[in-house]
Structure formats: C-alpha cells, structure tokens
Amino acid sequence: MSLLIALIGLIFAGRLILKNYNPQAVLFLTGIAMMTIAIFTNDAAFVDKSTGWLGFDIFEYIRNTFSHRAGGLGLKIMLIGGFAMFMSAIGASQVMVKVAAKPLMKLNSPYLMLALALILGQALSLFISSATGLGLLLMATLYPVLIRLGCSKAAVAAVLASTCAIEFGPGSGNSILAAQTAGMDITDYFVNEQLPVISMLIVIVAGIHALVQRYFDSKMAPEEQSAQLQGVIDETEADAPLYYLLLPMLPLFFMMTFSKMGVGTIRVGMDTAILLSIFIGLVCEYLRHKQAKPVFVKLQGIFNDMGKVFATVVTLIIAGQTFAMGLKSIGAIEALLNMASSAGFAASVIVLFMAVLTFSISALMGSGNAAFFSFAPMVPQIAEKIGTNVADMILPIQLSAGMGRTISPIAGVIIAVAGLSGLSPFDIVRRTVIPMLSGWLIMLAITFTRSGQFMQLLPFLIGIVALLVVITFIIKKRANPQVASEL
C-alpha cells in the first residue's frame, strides 16, 4: 500500500510540474499530503520534539528544515549564486570565457573544435555554475566562430547547451548537497569522488558529441550545410580588465590552497572563500572606477541576487526534502528496500534504479535540481540498509540529474540557447539525446567499476540498452515519416 501511495504521489507531482505548476508548491503539497496520510496509517513521527499534535508536527518539520538548510547548505548556495552573478555583472566571467576560447579559435577543424569546446565549457563550469549563464556566454563567443568554420547551427547549439551536463565542482548546488549528504567536505568530494570519474567522462562525451554532430550534419541537404551566417550573434569585447579573468577562480583557489591538500595549518571553507573573493572583487571594482558609491551598489546587488537564489534554489531543496519525508513517513522507502532484499537485488541494482529515476525525472521536468533534491535525502538510510558507501551511491545519482536535464526541451539552458540560435528546442534536443544517453551509461559503468559492482550490474545495463533500442525501433516504425525523421 505504501508503494502504491508513493507511486500515486510521484505521478501526481510529475504531471503538475510538466504542466508548468510551480515545482516548490507541488513538492510541498505532495509531501504534506503523504505525511498527513502517514498520520492515519502508521502514526508517523516527523520531529524529535513534538508540538503535542502530529498535525502541527508536519509544519514543525518544515520549519526545522528551513532553519537547518537556510543557515548551512542554503547559505553556501546563496553565496555561490550571488558571487556568480557578481562576476557576470562586473564582466569577469565574460573576460574569462573570451580568453579561454581564444586558443580554440585558431583551429581549422570544426568537429575537433566542437569536442574541445565542450571540454572547455565543462572546465569553465567550475567557475560559472549557471548552466544557462555559461551557455549564453559561450553562444556570444564560440558560436560565431564555429558557424564560420562550417558547423551547422544545430550542432554548435547542441554542444554549447551541453557544457554543464556533467555537474561537478564546489560551485554546483547538486555537488554541495551530495557532499553534505555523504558527510564529506566539498573539496574532498570533488577531488576524491568526482574527478576520477568526470575527467574520463568529459573527454568521452566530447568525442561522442563531435561524432554525432558530424553524422547529423552529413545528413543535411547541401544548401543547409552552408556556413549559415544569418542570425549569428555579434562578438562583443568585454570591457573589464584582463586580470579580471582570475576573479572567478578565487574561491576554488582559496579552498584548494588552504586545505589538507595545500597549507594544512590554515583551513578556509567554502563560505569564507566566497566572502574573501567577493571582498577582493569589490576592491578591484573600486580601483577600476575610483568611486565608492557604485561599489556599494554592487554589494547590495550581491545581497539581492542571494535572495533570488534563496527563492528559487534553496526553497526547492526544502520542498524536495519535505517530499522525501513524505515518502519516508508512509513507509515507501522501507517497503522498497524490503522488496529489493527479498528479491535478492544487490546494492548496485538499487543505486541503478535511483539513477534511472533521477535521469528520467530530470528529463521530464527540465530541472536536475528538482529530481536530485527530492531523492538525495533518502540515500543515507538506503545506504545503511543495504550496507554500501553513501558517497559511492550518491555520485551516479548526482551526475544523472545534469545529464537528464540536457535532453529536456523545457530545460532553461536548452530554451535559452535555442532562442539565440533561432532554432526549436527540439532541434537541439534530438542532437543531445545520443551523447547524453551514451555518456550516462558510460558514467554508470565507470562509477560501478570503481566500487567493484560492475559485474553485478552488467545484465541490467545490457537490458537498458536493449530497451532503448526497442523503443526507438517501435517509435520509428509507427510514427509518421516526419516524426520518424525528427527522431
């Protein structure tokens, strides 16, 4: 019964979000509804110290979650958001992208440049955490160059829209939540868990992307293979000083330098590193303009942007945690684990199931955050139950969220890039599906090989590939010619 209620809750929430209902409101409503049901079905407890009535305890749980998240994880994400927008406002992000893109502009091989552009974009995502923001910056710099080299608009747009597909590093909200869930410092999680996987994965996905775009371009009519200069974005020079390209790197520099991997006697956490970087950025702005008043205005702008991040991202985390508590309170997680245990499923199968669920929901919702924030709070309990490491379990789930988002036509970065290139979001998504699905499967293989569970998982991975092939074949057979061509 608990699994049936959970399934109804998932379908209800998914349908509303697909209809463009506010995701926070949907997750809060669904979570509260399931927690209310739990009061009557299993007398669930939601807080350690009850208000005296279970009905009020639901809202006491939400209050506690707001209090806990806003001052911890929420503060980190708000500072990152405010810093990222500050870097864009003063032109530092633009200078960084411009300088980083210059070596690529000297290449004459369009598809090699496409692959390198993806690698460059993923490297820049360490410092520019917004997928949409980074995509737009690259559209303003690399897009015109790649078009003039002979790549199609759709090929370039698909690659540039994929530059934050593999989410990693201290600037990613999903990474911060994953590290906190695993009980690790974000620097340790980045260096020891993410880097060994994503360093191989990014290169592989870049190569697949280039081959896929070359194949699609070869199928275009000759007149469509022209340089397609019409509608190309004008290249604009950033007016910020050249040394500003160092400013977005400062938080990572402070965190890596003053840690156990660098100067071990001094420790600088993420919050402190970002505050130091904001201070240095404000000093640079004063030296640049020689006026204090505009600098003070920019500081207030950082606070305003932090408020926007709270309203969009932090509230989504809290809503997702409320939704997860709803699933937990009705006994769905326990029932799922018992069912998996009685069926003899290994830990790797349960992790794979959650990765598939996260990837699929991210693709449907167009948001990697909504899916991951909903499922991440469940991972420690599941890991303890099945006897596996939390970090090993949460990494493939976290990486699945960003890759699933990149095949969604309603994702913000896809819509933004499509708008600038004059294409339909579906034109871009049909070129990102193969690289993202392939990269996702390879990511699962790498992560489970590292944890020593690959052979247990191999039959299921083969089954997923076979299922994808069968679904594609059936759709192509039954669809009208125009739809089949699009697929």
Q: Tell me: the pLDDT tens digits for 23-53?
A: 889 889 999 999 999 888 876 777 777 788 8
Alpha carbons 201 and 38: distance in angstroms, whole number? 42
Q: Which pLDDT value is given to residue 472?
A: 60
- The answer to whether residue 6 scores a pLDDT higher than 70 is yes
DSSP string, 140-151: HHHHHHHHHHT-
Residue for token pair 């737009």: 136
Q: Which pLDDT value is given to residue 160?
A: 92
Alpha carbons 272 and 281: distance in angstroms, whole number? 14
Better-scored residue on pLDDT, 219 or 178: 178
Q: Which range has the worst mean pLDDT, 161-170, 267-276, 448-457, 470-479?
A: 470-479
Q: Which pLDDT value is given to residue 415?
A: 83
Mean pLDDT calculated for residue range 205-222: 85
- CA-wise closest residue to 59 among 375, 325, 312: 325
- The answer to whether residue 143 scores a pLDDT higher than 60 is yes
Q: Which pLDDT value is given to residue 474?
A: 60
Q: Which pLDDT value is given to residue 483?
A: 45
Q: Which pLDDT value is given to residue 151?
A: 82
Q: Which pLDDT value is given to residue 349?
A: 77
Q: Which range has the worst mean pLDDT, 105-109, 163-167, 367-371, 395-399?
A: 105-109
Alpha carbons 487 and 484: distance in angstroms, whole number? 5
Q: pLDDT tens digits for 58-91?
A: 999 899 889 887 877 788 888 888 888 898 889 8
3-state secondary structure of 39: helix
Q: Which pLDDT value is given to residue 337?
A: 66
Residue for token pair 């496409």: 114
- The answer to whether residue 428 scores a pLDDT higher than 80 is yes
Q: pLDDT tens digits for 432-476?
A: 999 999 999 899 888 888 767 666 666 666 777 776 677 666 655
- The answer to whether residue 341 scores a pLDDT higher than 70 is no
pLDDT band at 484 (very low <50, low <70, confident <90, very high): very low
Name the helix (H) or strand (E) containing 476: helix 454-478
Q: Which pLDDT value is given to residue 371?
A: 77
- pTM value is 0.76
Alpha carbons 398 and 392: distance in angstroms, whole number? 11
